Amino acid sequence: MAEEQSEKVRLHRFLAQCGIASRRKAEELIAQGKVSVNGEIVIEQGVKVGPGDRVEFDGNPIRPPDLRLYLYNKPLGVVTTMEDDRNRPSVGDQVPESASGVKPVGRLDMNTEGLIFLTNDGDLAHRLTHPRFGIEKEYVAVVAGIPTEKTLARLRRGVVIDGEKTAPAHWEFIGPVKSENQARLRIILHEGRNRQIRKMAEMVGHPVISLRRVRIGNFRVKGMEQGEMRLIGKKDHEKLRASVGLS
């Protein structure tokens, strides 16, 4: 009985998982009497449903989709959206029909390449992008000039961008780029603010020339072709959920 109870979720969250509406909008739909559970209209919030319950919206049965997690090696020039109103190549262009309902987890800017997750697992997506759960994201950057150890130490401690100090991070000098006054750096972040690495590097006088995300948690870009999208197996999906406290 306890195990069955633990599988239950609040009705508005269930509706969101099924793609009916956002959680907030789902609460409105419940209050409007558009949702029934086991044949009974539900208008109060806080009701929980589980695998054995029959949920209907506007008289039509709804079921949660199979949770899917994809790893995508994003090329340069692709925007991290499902569609683009300026007709630029987007991540959504690469999503197979069988993966309908998935969305990018966070984003990489158009001029950054490398790994990004796509999923319809909303709880996982939220925790992967929340700094409290500390998912490591590793990058290799090429920057203009050769930063000193003092400069790297400053970046490791954190700098103020957009009015807020960045969290401590790993900044490591890998080596110079041959025949150029440039350096290759390894960077590991636990947060993911907008264009964070580019802004930090610019602030200390070493603007980014190229940037690639090579790892998210235990998932690495090694062995993946540029533009490849790979379905993560159920076992690894569950391990990732467990790593951020989801059962």
Catalytic, out of 66, 109, 162, 236: 109
93 is catalytic: no
3-state secondary structure of 243: helix
Name which of 53, 52, 68 is nearest 19 in CA terms. Answer: 68
Helix axes 234-243, 122-129, angle to 10 degrees: 50
Q: Say if residues 219 and 135 touch (Cβ distance below 8 Å).
A: no
Q: Using alpha carbons, list the distances in angstroms from residue 135 to 18, 155, 216.
A: 26, 19, 7
Burial 98-124 (b: 16+ CB within 10 A, else e): ebeebbbbbbbebebbbbbbbbbbbbb
For the annotated catalytic residues, the residue numbers are: 109
